[in-house]
Amino acid sequence: MIRETCSCGATLESDAEIVLETFHEWRRDHRHAEPAAGTVLKSSGPTLADVVDRLTAISEHLALIERLARGATRDAS
């Protein structure tokens, strides 16, 4: 389970795939909850932000691979 908790007590959690739009909407609605600099938050696992960062990195790598593959296909013809 992945869980993101706001300082106001609101919690977003997911057992299944995370819908990025939902996460971003939740984050926008709870912008007041941004921790002060230097604040250490406790976590029992990856946060939604960690997962979004990881998915973004994977997406960027896949886009690069796709561009390289298209270039290799053009070079071969």
Q: What is the pLDDT of residues 46-63, one digit of tens each?
A: 777 778 888 888 888 888
Task: Output the CA torsion sign for 55, 58, 64, 70.
Answer: negative
How many structural domains is the chain composed of? 1
Q: pTM of the prediction?
A: 0.39
Domain holding 68, by residue range, is 2-76
For residue 50, the model assigns a pLDDT of 79
Q: What is the pLDDT of residue 71?
A: 80
Residue 42: which residues within 8 A CB-CB, separation 6 or more?
none
| pLDDT given at position 31 | 63
Q: For residue 42, what pLDDT is reported?
A: 55
Q: Which residues of the chain have pLDDT under 50?
A: none
